[in-house]
Structures are given as structure tokens and as C-alpha cells.
Amino acid sequence: MALLKILQYPDKRLHTVAKPIETVTDDIRRLAADMAETMYAAPGVGLAATQVDRHIRMIVIDVSEDKNHLLTLINPVILAKDGEVVHEEGCLSVPGIYEPVTRAEHIKVRALNLDGLTYQFEAEGLLAICVQHEIDHLDGKVFVEYLSRLKQDRIRTKLVKQQRETM
């Protein structure tokens, strides 16, 4: 297993729309394991392949307290959503920034697992928020894009400065 480099906003590659995975191969399973390791090490509760510069539709999520409930979602689709919830979100690609975002409160999701089998589940709370946040990544969208133009500009300036200082 290996730790992967996480792209940092405002890297343009974060705006790539990821392609569906046609077959779940050993390479895909290896990438999923590396993504999970990278997410746990960060530490974070979710990571999309987009964030490690692999533009295929796969995300890993673990919102459990004991970090023992890893979910891998391949080609995830939101089948239904309802309600509304506002939660302060953060992102491993946008370090140090936490801002409120409005999302659906309940969702029904369909995805493939690492055996290539379809599964379906309903989610609410942090899991529902996280799934929506990560699917956005696969569509090339970073959570700061829900904020005002002014806030986005401030965040971009701050991160560019941070990245310059740590280079």
C-alpha cells in the first residue's frame, strides 16, 4: 500500500469530470486500498479518486468513530434525496477551511463494491453529507464552489499563499 498525493485547491485537475469504471480489476482494488490508507493517514472521512489525480468514479468513506467502517463506492449514483441540512464542511484538498454548505438530508445511493457487485443503501447525517461531497469531486466540483464569489476568492488567495510558503 502507498500514501497518495492529494491535489490541493485551486489545482485545475480538481475540476476534471471522472469517468465510470467499466470493470473492477485488481488495479482498481489496489487504488481503493491506497486511497483508504491516504484518507485514514490525513486524517479524513472521505476521499474521491479525483483528489489523487485518478479521474475515475470511485470514492472511499469512513465516518465511524472507530475508523473501522470503510465504504468503497464505485460509480455511485444518488437515486433519491430529500430534506435539507446545513453542515460545516471541510476537505482534504482545501486544508484549514471549514464553511457551511446546504445538502440533502437523506439520500438513497447505488454503487458497485470492490467485487463489482451492485449495492444500495440509504444514508442520513454525516454519511449522507459525505457521499454528496465526494460525488461532487467526481463531477469536478469542490465544496467551496457553493460559497459566495467573495469567499471563494479569499480561500483561493489564502491557499495559494500557503502552498507557496510550504514549497
Q: Which is nearer to Ni ion, 49 or 91 (CB)?
A: 91
Q: Which is nearer to Ni ion, 86 or 117 (CB)?
A: 86
Q: Which is nearer to Ni ion, 91 or 104 (CB)?
A: 91
Residues whose CB falls within 8 Å of the CB of residue 146, separated by 6 or more in sequence, listed in order: 101, 102
Q: Nearest residue to Ni ion, using CB?
A: 91
Residues contributing to the site for Ni ion (CB under 5 A):
91
For the CA atoms of 72, 41, 53, 20, the dihedral, rounded to the nearest 10 degrees, stands at: 0
Rounded to whole angstroms, the Cα distance separating 108 from 82 reads: 9
Q: How far is the CB of 46 from Ni ion (least distance, A)?
A: 7
Q: How far is the CB of 92 from Ni ion (least distance, A)?
A: 6
Rounded to whole angstroms, the Cα distance separating 17 from 40 reads: 24
Which of 122, 134, 145, 165 is flagged as catalytic? 134
Neighbouring C-beta atoms of residue 80, cutoff 10 Å: 10
Radius of gyration of the chain (CA): 15
Q: Which is nearer to Ni ion, 91 or 112 (CB)?
A: 91
Q: How far is the CB of 93 from Ni ion (least distance, A)?
A: 5
Q: Given the DSSP bridges, would you call strands 46-48 and 58-61 parallel, antiparallel or unpaired?
A: antiparallel
Mark whether 84 is an active-site residue.
no
Q: How far is the CB of 70 from Ni ion (least distance, A)?
A: 17
Q: Contact, 52 vs 38, CB < 8 A? A: yes
For the CA atoms of 115, 119, 124, 127, the dihedral, rounded to the nearest 10 degrees, stands at: 10
* Active centre residues (catalytic): 134
